Structure 1
C-alpha cells in the first residue's frame, strides 16, 4: 500500500513539473541582432560599366567590414508588441544607397485592434504610419532550429508581392509577433532572413518578465500617414532615381 501511495505521489509531482515546463509565455523582452551584408547589397547596386564606381567599391571592401550589426529590442505582452532599434555608437559607412543600414523604425502592434503604428524616419523626415497589421502569406515548413534557447520551426513567406522571407518561430511564446513588422505565425518569430536583401534579424536573448501596458505605447511624433499614402509619397520622390529609387522604396516600406 505504501509503495502504491509513493508511486501516485511521484506521478503527481512529475505531472506538476511537466505542466510548469509546458506553460506558454505571453510577456517578456527579446533582444535581436540585425545583421546586414554590406558588400552584397553594394554589389547589387553597382553599375558594372562605371569604372570609377567599381574602383570605389574595391576600396570600400578593403577598408570597411562586410557585415554590420544593429541591436534591436522587442517588448511584448499577450496583446501588444513594441520593437525598437538602437543607433550604433560609431557611424556605419554606407556605399551608395543602402537604406537598411540607416533604418531605425519604432514598430508598435496592437493585436486586439488589428492596428500597427510605425515611426519611419526616411531621409530626415519622420512619418507616423498607422494602418492595419501587415498580412504575410506564410507557409510552415518541416525544419527546426535552436534560437536563443528555443526550438523554432521554419516558415516561408512573401511581402510586397516579391520579397522572399524565411522565418523561424517558437510556439512556446504564445504571441504572434516578431521584429519590425513581421508577424502572423502561430508563435513568436525569433529569426527573420530576407535572402535576396542580405539582412537577418536573429534573437540573442529572451527574458521572461512582466511587461506593463504603460511600457507598450505607440510612437507619437511624425507626419500621420497610411501605408498606401507613404508608398505614393515615396514613389513620387524616388521616381527620378531609376533602379536605385525602386530599391529605396522597397526597403523603406518593409
Structure 2
C-alpha cells in the first residue's frame, strides 16, 4: 500500500513537471520557401535592369525550400532564441543576401518588457534594443500537435498589416516563442508568416535549467531602436535608386521578426 502510494506520488510529481515546466530548451526548424521568396522579391523590383535579370538567373538554380535550425533557452520570464550554426553550401551560400534568414539571436524578458536582437546583415552586426513587439492576437478553436504538445491556433497581426499564424501550448506557461513572437497564454511552438514565405515549428523540447544570456553582439556594436534601424537602413539601401520601397519594407519585416 505504501509502495503504491509512493509510486502514485512520484507519477503525480512527474505529471506536474511535464505539464508546467518553467525552464528548458526548445529546438526549432525554420522552413523558407526559397523560390517563392525570390519571386516575391522579383515582383517588387524595378521592371528592368541588371538586378532583375540576376535574380531570375539565381532563381533557376535555387532549391524550392531550405531549413534553418534554431534553439531557444527559456527560464522563468526570460528566453534566448539563437541559430544553430551550419555551413551554407552551393547556391545557398550565394543567395543568403536575399534575406531568407539573418542568423538573428533574440533575447526577450516578458516580465519587464525587454527585447534585444542581433542580426547578421551583409556581414555586419545589427543590434536592436526596444520594447517587445506588439502583436494583436485572436485565438481560434483549431488544434494541432507539435513536438508532442497539444497546441491551439491563434491568428495575429504585427507591424500594422503583417498576418501571422501561431500555435501555442499552455503546457509550457511562458508567453514567449521563436524570434520576436510572444503574447499568447503559453509557449509558441509553431508560427507561419505567409508574407515572408516561412514557417517555424518546434521539433524537440527538453526540460533543463539553461543559462539565458541577455548580452548581445560586441562592445563596439551600437544598439538601435526599430525606428532608428529603419532610418539607418533606408539610407544604406539607397531606396529609390537601388531598391524600391516595397523591397525595403519586405526586408525590414524580416529583420523585425
Which category of TM-score, normalised to the shorter sequence, fits these structures?
0.7 to 0.9
**Partner in structure 1 of residue 22 of structure 2:** 26
Point out the structure with max Rg over C-alpha.
Answer: 1
Deviation at 1:111, TM superposition (A): 2.1
The reply to whether residue 173 of structure 1 matches residue 169 of structure 2 is no
- Pairwise mapping of residues 54-69 of structure 1 onto structure 2 (< 5 A)? 60=58, 62-69=60-67
Once residues 131 and 89 of structure 1 are traced to their aligned partners in structure 2, the CA distance between those partners, rounded to angstroms, is 30
Judge conservation of contact 1:156–1:164 (CA < 8 Å) in 2: yes
**Partner in structure 2 of residue 3 of structure 1:** none
Judge conservation of contact 1:42–1:95 (CA < 8 Å) in 2: no
With normalisation by structure 1, the TM-score equals 0.84
Q: Does the residue aligned with 2:196 lie in a helix, a strand or coil?
A: coil
Deviation at 1:41, TM superposition (A): 1.1
Judge conservation of contact 1:45–1:96 (CA < 8 Å) in 2: no
Once residues 60 and 228 of structure 2 are traced to their aligned partners in structure 1, the CA distance between those partners, rounded to angstroms, is 41
Judge conservation of contact 2:38–2:59 (CA < 8 Å) in 1: no
Once residues 160 and 247 of structure 2 are traced to their aligned partners in structure 1, the CA distance between those partners, rounded to angstroms, is 19
Judge conservation of contact 2:80–2:107 (CA < 8 Å) in 1: yes
**Partner in structure 2 of residue 228 of structure 1:** 227
**Partner in structure 2 of residue 209 of structure 1:** 208
**Partner in structure 1 of residue 73 of structure 2:** 75
Deviation at 1:140, TM superposition (A): 0.6
Deviation at 1:217, TM superposition (A): 2.8
- Pairwise mapping of residues 95-110 of structure 1 onto structure 2 (< 5 A)? 98-101=98-101, 103-110=102-109
**Partner in structure 2 of residue 185 of structure 1:** 184
**Partner in structure 2 of residue 250 of structure 1:** 253
Summarize deviations over 1:57-89 as a string: whole Å, max 9, x none.
665455331100111000001121000013432
Deviation at 1:93, TM superposition (A): 4.6
Once residues 94 and 137 of structure 1 are traced to their aligned partners in structure 2, the CA distance between those partners, rounded to angstroms, is 36
RMSD: 2.9
| Greater CA drift, 117-126 or 43-52 | 43-52
Q: Relative to 1, partners in 2 of residues 1:29 and 1:96: Cα closer, same or farther, differing over 3 Å?
A: closer
Once residues 114 and 166 of structure 2 are traced to their aligned partners in structure 1, the CA distance between those partners, rounded to angstroms, is 22
With normalisation by structure 2, the TM-score equals 0.83
